[in-house]
Structure 1
């Protein structure tokens, strides 16, 4: 009797940069139409959970809103003609309903909270009167990137000196409820770090590196969302990206969008896909 065997290709582990390759696809982020004469000058970005919008800073301390159509696709990037000049930030993070925003203010060395009176419309953002300082940790260094995870209760701030700090909020997405203490991860073995991204369950984290290095570093967390348990396990070389300034996984974790800060008015989004 002939024996038949079926062989199944094992599905790759999602949200794992060791499975990624560059797709040869990138797109230029258009400069805002309104206000005129303003150029995109991105230090970081925040992409909505459904992949339909992203928010990015520009010259003159303005934050602008863009659309991705279809979601998570860089084939069509549209300026939404929505902006605000009230947010002074190095990076920003937005909640799932897109009604609360945390801005990382490098000049004031604090995390400032904003509220949208109309969800998904950054032009309606106003200060919520809530914030917490980060100066005691970073000193003269500047907080460069921010990520909010674990249903809005954990805030991660990455500094220019390669220090990563974790702060816990007593109430989800409420900056006034920051609890005492913090957790710390030293990533100073790498230089000029920008951008933080986690997988949905907080067991894997990636951090970008700019300038000549052009890499993305991956860490595994033995305790979800706890950076004190993180260990480095893979580095992805991204030579096509001038400088990694932000990253965003798609819904199933098999594609990664990478924001590149090339020069003022010349920023691109690169797409990486599973092999």
Structure 2
């Protein structure tokens, strides 16, 4: 550490202050980790064999919770360069552009379409193959406007796949078959309409006299899926309709059925595959709300909530904000020991991990940080803990920390963790600058430096500081 010598504060900034601070001694800090609902995302899976969910493996995800707190289903344009999400909370269809077709990690929000005039509880959005018609599955209607429940609402688009050009045209009521519809699909030429019902737990089939015109629909038949799923949320088919897929929130799974005759639900056979989406590292979605495929069935997209981690009830240590939120930001002080209570029963199948990169081993090239980390018991069981001892840097005049910024993450599931700031070592006495607005700046300006000192004394610029025989003298003028 450099020796303190005589100096004068000469900062040019108005109302700036300088001061001395003493670092707090090493402590043991106890914190509590919980798993809560949230993390609304579109999860992308690759299928080793097209249209065979038994070969699915998790690939990537895209968080959509910023645009709606309760998204319920998703679909793509034919070429995969646009993604559409049904936002239930705001009653909007959200449109995203993808720089790489069918790769949700390249998505960015573009615009939305308000559909609240047609339904108070929209559940899903679908299109015809050319993108000139949009369909919104509505569960509640709009009672105040005299619109009954369980409707397929149809819209015309003057510009294909541009939802800002959509105009409502007509509807078809499914109320006679089901009072709480969830999703829909067409066959390849639009002459059959398949509707997923949550009340009857079935798939209802309708003939269309005019292709893709839902107002011309006539009920034909239905197939019950109640033995496998009592809360169906998403419906899909392969290209020729010989395979049907259901996403359900009761079993938290995706189910696959074979059909003898394409799109004829009366010929549906016993399920062939059922893939659970809970507590499996290769399938992070815990609560699926909808599904769709790319054009050749080599990718499956499940919209759902995988849950998210929260520390100490969401108290955020992000400098200057201190808001309460999930995946909240932490500050780890060098030399301190942090003991996390991971006994919440919801944490069974999960694990608290640390890394120097975002989302740790879930990202390409990411590794787990294990220095000073230990565990006791299994997460989700009484008394279970995870402990990390943050190393201290050897005293030096050089800026920096013993360990750079860390990230905490869920070892079993991606996209659930947050950041940990590790401010640089200060020594026993360190001169520090502040602008008087709780914005502390030291030698290493890229670090977040708030709340790292036990005691603080500040003086305004222009004062003379003198050191005589180790004693600090302040010239007050």
Instruction: Give the distance between the partners of 1:114 and 1:100, measured in 2 at CA.
Output: 6
Cα-to-partner distance string for 1:28-67 (whole Å, 9 max, x where unaligned): 12534xxxxxx24212222222211122222232221112
SS in 2 for 1:75: helix
Q: Which has the larger radius of gyration?
A: 2
Shift of 1:177: 1.6
Shift of 1:13: 4.5
Question: Tell me, which stretches of 5 or more residues in structure 2 are unaligned?
Answer: 1-47, 141-148, 279-283, 308-325, 327-412, 415-477
Partner of 2:137: 104
List aligned pairs for 1:168-247, cutoff 5 A. Answer: 168-179=207-218, 181-189=219-227, 190-211=229-250, 213-231=251-269, 232-239=271-278, 240-247=284-291
Shift of 1:87: 5.2
CA contact 1:152–1:173 (8 Å) conserved in 2: yes
Instruction: Give the distance between the partners of 1:168 and 1:110, measured in 2 at CA.
Output: 16
Cα-to-partner distance string for 1:225-248 (whole Å, 9 max, x where unaligned): 101111211111222212212222
Question: Tell me, which stretches of 5 or more residues in structure 1 are unaligned?
Answer: 1-11, 33-38
Judged with a 3 Å threshold, the aligned counterparts in structure 2 of structure 1 residues 46 and 26 are, in CA distance, closer, same or farther, namely closer
The partner residue of 1:248 within 278, 292, 301 is 292
CA contact 1:90–1:144 (8 Å) conserved in 2: yes
Shift of 1:262: 5.5
List aligned pairs for 1:138-153, cutoff 5 A. Answer: 138=178, 141-153=179-191
Cα-to-partner distance string for 1:207-266 (whole Å, 9 max, x where unaligned): 00115x221000000001101111211111222212212222223322212111468xx9
List aligned pairs for 1:86-105, cutoff 5 A. Answer: 86=117, 88=119, 89-105=122-138
Partner of 1:20: 56
Partner of 1:136: 176
CA contact 2:83–2:95 (8 Å) conserved in 1: yes
Instruction: Give the distance between the partners of 1:115 and 1:166, measured in 2 at CA.
Output: 23
Instruction: Give the distance between the partners of 2:217 and 2:111, measured in 1 at CA.
Output: 34
Of 52-61 and 107-116, the range deviating more from structure 2: 52-61
The partner residue of 1:60 within 79, 86, 90 is 90
CA contact 1:30–1:78 (8 Å) conserved in 2: no
The two structures have a TM-score, normalised by structure 1, of 0.81
Instruction: Give the distance between the partners of 2:193 and 2:61, measured in 1 at CA.
Output: 30
Aligned residues: 244
SS in 1 for 2:272: strand
Instruction: Give the distance between the partners of 1:258 and 1:60, measured in 2 at CA.
Output: 20
CA contact 1:43–1:261 (8 Å) conserved in 2: no
CA contact 1:61–1:87 (8 Å) conserved in 2: no
Partner of 1:257: 301
Instruction: Give the distance between the partners of 2:231 and 2:272, measured in 1 at CA.
Output: 19
Instruction: Give the distance between the partners of 1:251 and 1:63, measured in 2 at CA.
Output: 21
The partner residue of 1:115 within 140, 156, 167 is 156
CA contact 2:193–2:217 (8 Å) conserved in 1: no
Instruction: Give the distance between the partners of 1:44 and 1:250, measured in 2 at CA.
Output: 15
Judged with a 3 Å threshold, the aligned counterparts in structure 2 of structure 1 residues 71 and 30 are, in CA distance, closer, same or farther, namely farther
Partner of 1:77: 107
Instruction: Give the distance between the partners of 1:127 and 1:251, measured in 2 at CA.
Output: 27
Q: Which has the higher strand share?
A: 1
Instruction: Give the distance between the partners of 2:132 and 2:69, measured in 1 at CA.
Output: 23
SS in 1 for 2:261: coil
Cα-to-partner distance string for 1:5-26 (whole Å, 9 max, x where unaligned): xxxxxxx642111222223x22
Judged with a 3 Å threshold, the aligned counterparts in structure 2 of structure 1 residues 118 and 84 are, in CA distance, closer, same or farther, namely farther
Instruction: Give the distance between the partners of 1:127 and 1:252, measured in 2 at CA.
Output: 31
- CA-atom RMSD in angstroms: 2.3
